[in-house]
Amino acid sequence: MIIGRRIIVTAFVLLAFAAIVLERAQAGDNHFFAPVRDPLVLEECGGCHLAFAPSMLPASSWRRMMGELDNHFGDNASLEPAAVEHITRYLVANAGDAAGQRHGAKMLRGVALDSAPQRITTLPRWRHKHREVPDWEWRHKEVLSRANCLACHAGAEQGYYDDD
User: For 26-62, how does the pLDDT look when each residue is reduced to its tens digit (9 = 90+)?
Assistant: 334 557 899 999 999 999 999 999 999 999 999 999 9
Going from N- to C-terminal start, the domains of the chain cover 1-30, 31-158
pLDDT, tens digit (0-9, with 9 covering 90-100), for 78-136: 999 999 999 999 999 999 998 777 777 788 888 887 788 999 999 999 999 999 999 99
Residues 6+ apart with CB under 8 A from 82: none
The whole-number pLDDT of residue 89 equals: 98
Q: What pLDDT does 52 receive?
A: 94
Angle at 17 between CA 23 and CA 104, to 5 degrees: 35
